[in-house]
Homo-oligomer: A and B are copies of this chain.
Amino acid sequence: MGTTGQLSTVPEPKYWHLRTVLLRAIETEFTTGQILPNERELSARFGVARATLRQALDQLELEGRLVRRRGIGTLIAAPRVGVPVNRHEEGWPGTARSQAWRIVDCTTAPATPQLAKTLGVAEGVTVHTVRRVRMVQGQNMATESLHVPAAALPHLPGFRAESDRARSVLRQLERLEVDGESRSVELGVAEAAEAALLERPPGSPVLVMTTQYAAAGRLVAIAVSTYRADTCKLTFGETGLVEVTPVAASSEVRSAS
Q: A: which residues have CB within 8 A of B?
A: 1, 4, 16, 19, 51, 59, 62-64, 80, 82, 105, 107, 109-110, 112, 114-115, 117-118, 120, 129, 131, 143-145, 147, 180-189, 191-194, 196, 202-203, 205, 207-208, 210, 212, 214, 219, 222, 224, 226, 229-230, 232-242, 244-245, 247-257
Nearest CB of B to A248, in Å: 7
Chain B residues whose CB sits within 8 angstroms of the CB of A247 once the complex forms: 114-115, 118, 210, 222, 224
A/B interface sample: 25 pairs, CB < 8 A: A19-B203, A62-B205, A112-B256, A112-B257, A115-B247, A117-B245, A120-B242, A131-B250, A145-B251, A180-B241, A181-B238, A182-B241, A184-B234, A184-B236, A185-B234, A186-B234, A187-B230, A193-B249, A193-B254, A194-B250, A208-B249, A212-B241, A224-B247, A226-B249, A236-B236
Q: How far is the CA of A192 from the CA of B255 in the complex (A)?
A: 12
